[in-house]
Amino acid sequence: MTSVVPSGQINNVDKIPTEQKSAFYSFLKSLASFTGDLSAVTCPAFLLAPESLIEYSEYWAAQPELFAAIPEPDSEVERLLAFIKWFISYLNAAYRRRVPKGQWEKKPYNPVLGEQWFMNWEDVDGCGETEVLCEQVSHHPPVTGFYIKNDKAGVVLNGHSGQKTRISSATLVCDQTGREVMTLKTHNNEKYLFTSPSLTVRGIWYAAPYVELIGTTYIQASTGYYASIEYSSRGWISGEKNHFKCLVRKNTDHKDYLYKIEGQWSGKSTITDYKTKVSKPFLDINILKAAAAKVKPLEKMGEMETRRIWQKVSEAIRANDTALAAKEKSIIENKKRAEKKEREEEGVPWEPVYFKWVEEEPDVAKLQKMLSKVAKYKGDPNPNGNWVFRKELEQSNK
């Protein structure tokens, strides 16, 4: 490439396998001229990670001790603060710790329709095991339904996440859509609705992508408290990377600030009480323990489980055989296209195994209404809908 590499930007173009360079430059050319949702653009095997995007939902509970600790405080506002602490730990697990040190961000596979992922996070400090269940409920646009629970703590997270990817000023921007609802069963089913940040993916032109968070996350509690988390990339505002600022308020008086939490979602943060003006440490990501993941052996996985579906592609990527990886990936994609065509010809609609779409989900609708009165958040086209875990839906209808 002939363009000047920005200061501090890693350039891996020379490391691209010879047989993949043509595909890489074609990929860049398609990005430069593409309009609309980029999820349909094929990524060269050199830039692929040996795992599916569906596995990324496990990071919601990558700090199970913080996930399980949310119900512990007696105070409603203190539980919201515990929720925020968990959420910040999730950001670090999902967008920093997930990428091995010294490596760069790679694109996961776009999950096929009906793809599944099951795993558990082991107990940390007596918090109990945390179960994760995910299913791909839509392929284009990509949407993952997930259900995460810790029975010992009585915490359940049910929601869906999707991505709308576009090019803006030569930067890839991923707007994360969806709805996520947490339930604290030990507090009369107290609820929290929240949204995800947008992402920018920089460095693609130099084959060394990395992620930065932008935009705003909103958290609405059924108790009448809410929070907004603003992200700034590249230290443009704060002078530090991965900066965030969170404000906690009441729905009844959104100009009355209770707390400000500020710092790095990948490092240390502090909390300031607006009434006393006293600041103290809030969270230090670097001292958190990493939980062990429990995943059943590959030979015991079902045919729709993600590591069985992508096994040959992942093996080829790990062996640095990009040609074989591209071949095996095409086999999977062509098979799924054929299955879709067959369903359409037979007029048979596809249905998820574990999730059901509810257009007007009562908890989402109630919390969304509360949030809309204090925040200018447009959300996605279905603001009151959610992909609900079928067993939970069956129990609530009894």
Q: Where are the domains of the chain?
A: 25-397
Q: What is the pLDDT of residue 127?
A: 97
What is the model's pLDDT at position 34?
56
Instruction: Tell me the residue type at 282.
Output: F
Nearest CA to 250 out of 217, 274, 276, 278 is that of 274
Q: Which residues is 220 bridged to in the sheet? A: 193, 226
Span 25-397: which CATH code? 2.40.160.120
pLDDT of residue 126: 96
pLDDT tens across the length of the chain (398 residues): 344 555 556 666 666 666 666 666 666 666 666 555 555 566 767 778 999 999 999 999 999 999 999 999 999 999 999 999 999 999 999 998 887 776 677 889 999 999 999 999 999 999 999 999 999 999 988 999 999 999 999 999 999 999 888 777 667 788 999 999 999 999 999 999 999 999 988 776 665 677 889 999 999 999 999 999 999 876 555 567 899 999 999 999 878 899 999 999 999 999 999 999 999 999 999 999 889 999 999 999 999 999 999 999 999 999 988 889 989 999 999 999 999 999 999 999 999 999 999 999 999 999 999 999 998 766 677 889 999 999 987 777 76
Whole-prediction pTM: 0.90
Nearest Cα neighbor of 141 from 116, 108, 163, 109 is 163
In this structure, the strands spanning 143-150 and 155-168 are antiparallel
The rounded radius of gyration (Å) of the Cα atoms in the chain is 21
String of b and e for 315-335 (b: at least 16 CB within 10 Å)?
ebbeeeebebbbebbeeeeee
d(CA 312, CA 324): 9
